[in-house]
Structure 1
Amino acid sequence: MKIFALDTSTEAICVGYTDGQNFYSMNYFGVEKHAVKLAPLVNDFLKLCDVKVSDIDVFGCGIGPGSLTSLRIGLAFVQAMACVTSKPIVPVVSSKVVAMNLSGCEQDVVIVKKAREGFVYISCYRSLQEVLAPSVLEIEKAFDILRNFKDPVVVGDAAHMFESVALVGKKELQYPRGEFLLHEVMQNFKANVVRKPHEVEPLYLQKSIAEMNLEKRLKGQ
């Protein structure tokens, strides 16, 4: 089975491909935005893997949490490929993929990402089992939760905020890796977490800035 997967929940673009025997993965870090870089990056990556989009049997996609705009870009791209080829999509939680960077860690692994001002996305995994499902919390409430975890290690672009109550992991650990992304796609496929393209949605835990501004304007009328 040929699987292509991508994740755009962070500032990096993570892509992976497997034909069941060989595994290929790549992370892109650069100044170009996801909307500009994603299509040519995927095109070049698949060429290097010597595979065509029409050859893919299953598409995988990280659904977040993360930047709302970045998630929409990645998911729309996967949906387009899946629609054109009439193939299914396997969604995976991006935080779980990040937690796999510390799979041998005996401590609680906490993923914390920047959300809107004063809030963070937070989730926790213990031996890769979900202890706290992805949530969006005020920073002070996130501090309270972290104090109750077992010697937590925090990773993510908001990890530095919590260095007084937890061990902060290296920056490179906050990004998904293609081999782990593919692993989760395969596990979810086996568990029948398979969706038609139009059924897949990003893991939105908060409203967009545009939605919140609209609500404020409507309340002010």
Structure 2
Amino acid sequence: MICLCIETATARVGIALSNNGRLLAESLLDAPGGQQNRLLMPELQRLLDQNNLTINQIDLFACATGPGSFTGVRTGIAATQGLALAAGKPCSGVSTLAMLAMNLPHAAWPVCPMLDARKNEVYTALYRTTDRTTQLKQDCVIPPADFLQMLSGPTIFVGDGALRYQELIQQTLGDNALFAPPTHHLLRPSSGCQLAEAAFQNGLSVPPEQLLPNYLRLSEAELSRQQKI
């Protein structure tokens, strides 16, 4: 089974192709200023050409459905839906936090992925990755100090939110605060391929129109509309 995973929920464009769990290609491009739309399709075509593949040969279309940038999440979902509809194939939505946790497979301690959500908050959750990825605390958006109060024992932190609040984490948890190596803090679409294939094998893929975002909170535009009501 050939799987394509797209990640545009952060300030990058990430694309990965895998075949029955074997990574074929992976690309990570910086996309400052919301350039995902401009960069995504040319880079996808380059990877397909590099592997002598066409869109119709993709069996499963996956993408990061959030949490993350509202515009970035929408970009990835729209592209994935369009490609899957054209190919007549199923989709699988993948949590950005689960993808981050997958950067630390077989970790001896729980893994806490953190993405900077701005407004002095983080998108975060808690996973165990010893044998398979198991979620211990659900995705949430929360002030980091509040989430840290829920943790006990050694915990490995990963992601740009963990880096931003590293001092707070260390002050709160002391020696129980562990941090991923510097190269592990980026979202990897190859991890999304692994998660999507596992979901597909468990019957959890969906038709393209049912691929939905996981924003966790309202956008600024939605908040503004609510305040006017």
Shift of 1:105: 1.6
Give the distance between the partners of 1:138 and 1:22, measured in 2 at CA.
Answer: 38
Partner of residue 72 from structure 2, selected from 58, 63, 70: 70
Partner residue in 2 for 1:131: 136
2:154 corresponds to 1:151: yes
1:14 counterpart = 2:25? no
User: Cα offset for 1:49?
Assistant: 1.3
For residue 198 of structure 1, give the secondary structure of its aligned residue in structure 2.
helix
CA shift, 1:98, in A, is: 1.4
Q: Which protein has the bigger strand share? A: 2
Alignment match, 1:214? 225
Q: What is the TM-score normalised by the length of structure 2?
A: 0.86
Shift of residue 21 of structure 1? Answer: 7.5
**Mapped partners of 1:83, 1:11: distance in 2:** 26
Contact 1:65-1:204 within 8 A present in 2 as well: yes
Equivalent residue letter for 2:136: V
The question of whether the paired residues in 2 share the 8 Å contact of 1:12 and 1:175 is answered with: no
User: Could you give the per-residue CA deviations for residues 6-58 of structure 1, whole angstroms, max 9, x where no partner exists?
Assistant: 22222232212133385223232325521221111111111111101122122
Taking the aligned partners of 2:25 and 2:97, their CA distance within structure 1 comes to: 18
Kindly provide the amino acid, as one letter, of the partner of residue 195 in structure 1: V
* TM-score between both structures, scaled by the size of structure 1: 0.89
Equivalent position to 1:177, from 185, 188, 191: 188
Question: Pairwise CA RMSD of aligned residues?
Answer: 1.8
The structure-2 alpha-carbon separation of the partners of 1:158 and 1:50, relative to structure 1 and needing over 3 Å to count, comes to same
Any gaps of 5 or more consecutive residues in structure 1? none
The answer as to 2:205 corresponding to 1:186 is no
Answer yes or no: is the 8 Å Cα contact 1:98–1:176 preserved in 2. Answer: yes
Residues 16 and 25 in structure 2, CA contact (< 8 A), matched pair in contact too: yes
State yes or no: 1:201 paired with 2:204: no
> How many percent identity over aligned positions?
23
Match of 1:101 among 100, 103, 124: 103
| Matches of 2:37 and 2:178, distance apart in 1 | 34
Cα separation, partners in 2 of 1:82 and 1:30, compared to 1, 3 Å: same
CA distance in 1 between partners of 2:214 and 2:25 (Å): 23
Q: Secondary structure at the match of 1:115?
A: strand
Q: For residues 45-97 of structure 1, what are the alpha-carbon distances to aligned partners after superposition, in whole Å with 9 as ceiling and x for unaligned?
A: 11111101122122112212211111110111000101112211022222112
Counterpart Cα distance in 1 of 2:22 and 2:194: 13
